[in-house]
Every structure is written in C-alpha cells, then in structure tokens.
Structure 1
C-alpha cells in the first residue's frame, strides 16, 4: 500500500511506522462502531464522551493483539462514573473485522456539567489481555491521573510496560447536511520502538503522583527523536482527526513526511457483542433449583439483560441451573 492510495477509512485502524525516528503508531477513525455502542444506552453527554474516548483508545491499543485474543480496558472509579468497560475481540482469521463493545456504569444523581474526566474520581485504569483457553490472562493497572483517559493510558504504558507512548484523540457529534447527527472519533497513537538495551526505570517519575512518563524513559538521540515527532503531532487539528475529508494516509504525510512514514494493512473494526442465550444458560448452570427460584420473576420467568448490547433473554426457570429438567429451548 502506498501513502497516496485512498482507503475506506471509517471504522478502521491503520498501523504505520516512522523509519527515521524509530517510532510506530496507528491512526483510527470510528463512526459506525461508536453509533452501534452508544445507541444501546441513553448516557448523559459527559458519560457518552468518556465512553467514546475509551472506545477510541481500545481500538488503537487493541490492534496489536494477536488473532483470537481479547483485550479489555477498564476504569474503576469512586466518582459519578463508577466503571467503564470495553472489549476488543481480535479477528478469528486474517482479513476479518475486529469487534468492539463497551458500557458504563454511573450514578445519574452525581453527574455534573463539568468536563468529562471530572466525572471519574479516585480509582484505576486497567488493561487486560486474554490469550485464550489454557493461558494465564495478563493484567496491568495504573492510578487514574493526568486529566484524561488518554493520559491514563500513556501513564500505564510508561509505568507498566516502560514504553514511551502518546495519544492525540478527537471525538464529538458530527452534523452534516442530510445526515443525522452522530458520534465520530479519530486518533493517533505513537509509540517508541522497544529497545533490548532499555534499562527498567524505578523510583518517582515526573507525572502526577510520581508516575513515570514517556520523557522519563528516553534521553540522548532517542529523546530528541521523541520530542521532535511529538512537536509534529501537536500540529494536528481536531477536524483532521475525526473529519470525513482527510484520509489517514494523507494525514500521515502532512504530519510526518520527513520521518519516512510507512503504512501497513488497515484493520477493519465493528461493533459486536459475544452474548448469547447459550452463555446465559452456562452462567446460570452453577445454581440450584432453589437459587433459580429466587431469581424467577412474578411472571414465572428468569430474565437477563446484556449490559453491552442491551439484548434481553427470557428463559423458563425449569430449563436453567444444574438441576434443570430441560437443557434446550423446547420448554420456552
């Protein structure tokens, strides 16, 4: 793929490399993905913005996981927004779309008109990677700090992975003639290529609460390269990140043409959930008939709702639990 080539860039993540400065990165543009996620819920505006930011981070970070792996981002907070959870399901095979889902849990009485990040309080930002059956899941955690979810993700990579990382994100509602108002998001992730000789840093960093930052990990020529590329990234405009006019390939040329940008195959992403009636039945299989009876509604049914996609499941209580009379749907 050449840099002059146009691609269908909405709902894609485009990996790239800056050969002269030894950086790698990704450009993401999300449209239908956000619509699919946010239309499942009636979030207040600040919560919608936090979910949009979290989904964009998930798309940018998730593109690196291997086929059939699952990456999850989570925010746990004591603030009005108690939790944000996202999942990125890598494709089952090359050429297929990755899937993203997300939801937020919040206290509507505590939501304010302030900036979105003010809706989260003391808490933590976590990244979890599930490599599949028989493999130990990986989890890394960093405190919520820095004034945005993007800053939390940057602190995570500096603190837990010792990888200098930078995000430049844009998201908001798009209004175009003849097109219904809808959410769009776009962003760029930059990351210094890991060095085998890089010594692990310890002690306090220059970030909030003494957290390590990218600048704490690099010096000499590597530090100069990092600063130069970040200065170039600072010139990006909001509409260049999210707008429908400038393709990611053209954006990379405008920002980094002197850094030798090289792009790779784009990864399509879509909204997708893994919930199913079978999974609901499986989750209920640990309960006895007496436990199931306590879950049964006045109408004589056992119901469950997916927090991610809003799917509603309505089951005959006789067909669930480890004492079920039936295992299938025939009694429903």
Structure 2
C-alpha cells in the first residue's frame, strides 16, 4: 500500500534542478471530514494544501508559513498553515448560501481583485509578508506566476486534489546556477505529462520513475507530514479577554454561554457564566445585568 503523508526531496546531479513530491491522505481527511466543503472549493483547498506542503519545505527557521488566496466572489478565503515541524492545517470561507457548480473554476469562485498572500511567521523574529494580485488559472499557475514575480525563480508546479488525496510536484532551477534553457525545457516538458490521477495515486518513487527514468534524480529519505491544529482553550480565553468584559458579559447574559468554533478543526470551546467570571476575575455577568437594569 502506498505510503501517505510524505514529502520527498530530489535533485538532478547533472543539472541544477531541485524538486519535491508530496502526497497526503490522512492529513487531508482530518480537514475534509470536519466541514462540508462544496466540491469546487474542496478541490481548490486541497491543491493549496499540497502547495503549502511543498513551499514550506524551504523554511529555514522554526515557524509557520501561511499561504492564502483571497477573493470577493463566492469564495472569500483559502488558507493553509504549514509549520517547520512538518504539520499542516487548512480551511476555507465562502458564501454558504450560494449554489456552487462542482466544476466551477477558481477564478469564477474568487471573482474580481483576487489576491495571493504569503506570510512567514518565525517563532522568534519579525513576520514577513508578500502580497500580489492573482494571475493565471488555478492554484498551480498562480503560484508559478508568484514565484517568477517575487523570487525570480523558474518553477514548475503541478497540484491535484480529490475527496481522498492531495498530491503535488515542484521543480525549480537552483538560483545562481547556470542551466541550459533547453535542459530546463526538457525536464518541465516531461513533468507536464504527469496526470492528476497519477499525482493522486502514485508515490514519489513511481512518479519520478514514470517521468525521469532516462535521467533519474537523486532521491532523499521522505519526511512525514501530520495534521495539527494550534487552537486551544487558553488561546480562546486570551481572545475573549481582548474582546473585553462588557462584550463577553453581554453575550453570556443573553445566551447563558458563549461558544467559539475553530475554523480549522471545528473544535467548540464553550464558556458559561462561571467560566467567564473566573476568566475576568469578577462577576462580570452580574455587573452587565445590573447595568442593563439601571438603564431600563
């Protein structure tokens, strides 16, 4: 049985070209089983998840790479977070009242003025962010355009996703290294023959043999990828403190409790009257009720 949740690096010893292959099943299932995504949005999110797994392989510091696609149409946001600990999580936001064609293109979903945002959040140090308009059809083309524009690196990316698996392949010319354009064209032409079905169902060994058996690359030991969500009750408590006692107290006074849902893992964090009073160190709910009675 094919090994899932793996990212595999490779390099061509006779050409300054590096590459990555990624395939994941369980990681993807953690995400799609927690929220009902329409087929077109599920496909786009899966492709972005594969892209995040590929791009995060270059993280040199402890931290998180956040890859976002933002739109103003039916689809508002796709976001993937990939960490230096080889963990992944992802979610999407869209107009859940809309009827969405299963075959709708990403551009149709995003509408006008879509943006691609890449954010690097090191555990220690300053955050870096790059923002560019979306160019091209589909996640792979948008990313290739981004890489050419922002990093000036020739890159080939292939991505695929269905309800079961995600897959991705990245080829990149090494910076500051001479490479015959004809050689790069030959390698990328071979890569373009890879089908979505193969990307979703073949492991790295079979994909690389299928594409490059005449000039086989050197393949490194695969890395394991895992789903992990960084949400916690403590982080939600911090968020409620930032909202302030009046807003939180009003919500609990009216509803009896306040519940915060994690967009990524769909975990529910509920705080009742006793919880919020302990959080704020006073009977904040009683204070809100007293103030309401005074104003009536």
For the aligned pair, the TM-score class normalised by the smaller chain equals 0.7 to 0.9
What do residues 163-182 of structure 1 show as CA deviations (whole Å, max 9, x unaligned)? Answer: 11111122224xxxxxxxxx
Q: Scaled by the length of structure 1, what TM-score is found?
A: 0.78
Residues 283-322 of structure 1: pairs in structure 2 closer than 5 A: 283-296=239-252, 298-317=254-273, 319-320=275-276
- Secondary structure of the 1:284 match is helix
Alignment partner of 1:235: what SS? coil
Residue deviations 1:123-166, cap 9 Å, x none? 10111111113x11111122122110111111111111111111
Greater Cα offset, 160-169 or 60-69: 60-69
The DSSP-based 3-state class of the residue aligned with 2:229 is: coil
Segments of structure 2 that go 5 or more residues without pairing to the other structure are: 283-296
Length-normalised TM-score, structure 2? 0.87
- CA RMSD across the alignment: 2.2
1:64 and 2:58 matched: yes
Looking at structure 1, the residues matched to 12 and 277 of structure 2 have their Cα atoms a distance apart, in angstroms, of 55
SS of 1:56's partner is: helix
Which of 148, 167, 183 lines up with 1:225 in the alignment?
183
Which residue of structure 1 lines up, in the alignment, with residue 122 of structure 2?
131
SS of structure 1 residue aligned to 2:165: strand
- Structure 1 residues 322, 261: CA separation in 2 closer, same or farther (over 3 Å shift)? same
Aligned to 2:45: 51
Alpha-carbon spacing, 1:37–1:151, altered in 2? closer, same or farther (3 Å): same
| Aligned pair partner of 1:148 in 109, 123, 138 | 138
Report what 2:290 is aligned to. Answer: none
Distance in 1 of aligned mates of 2:179 and 2:19: 19
Q: Which moved more, 1:8-17 or 1:107-116?
A: 107-116
2:172 corresponding residue in structure 1: 191
The CA distance in 1 between the partners of 2:12 and 2:98, in whole Å, is 44
Alignment of 1:73-88 (within 5 A): 73-88=67-82
Q: Distance in 2 between matches of 1:19 and 1:86?
A: 32
Q: Are the structure 2 counterparts of residues 162 and 302 from structure 1 closer, same or farther at C-alpha, using a change threshold of 3 Å?
A: same
Equivalent of 1:247, from 195, 198, 203? Answer: 203
CA shift for structure 1 position 285? 2.1
State the distance in 1 between where 2:77 and 2:253 align: 28
Relative distance call for 1:258 and 1:306 in structure 2 (3 A) is same
What's 2:288 paired with?
none
Q: Match of 2:193, SS?
A: coil
Q: Offset of 1:81 from its aligned partner?
A: 0.3
Contact 2:47 2:167 in 1 (8 A): no
What displacement does 1:255 show?
1.3
Higher normalized helix content (fraction of residues): 2
Partners of 1:276 and 1:23 in 2: CA distance: 41
Structure 1 residues not aligned, in runs of 5+: 1-6, 92-97, 174-182, 197-219, 327-332
Aligned-partner Cα distance in 2 for 1:187–1:263: 16
Report SS of the residue matched to 1:20.
coil
Cross-structure match for 1:262:
218
Q: Give the 3-state SS of the residue equivalent to 1:129 in structure 2.
A: strand
Q: How many residues align?
A: 279
**2: CA distance, partners of 1:140 / 1:260:** 35
Offset from partner CA, 1:188-245 (integer Å, 9 cap, x none): 111111117xxxxxxxxxxxxxxxxxxxxxxx953222211111112223332111xx
Distance of 1:137 and 1:27 partners within structure 2 = 27
2-structure distance, mates of 1:12, 1:82: 29
Contact persistence 1:40–1:310 (CA under 8 A) = yes
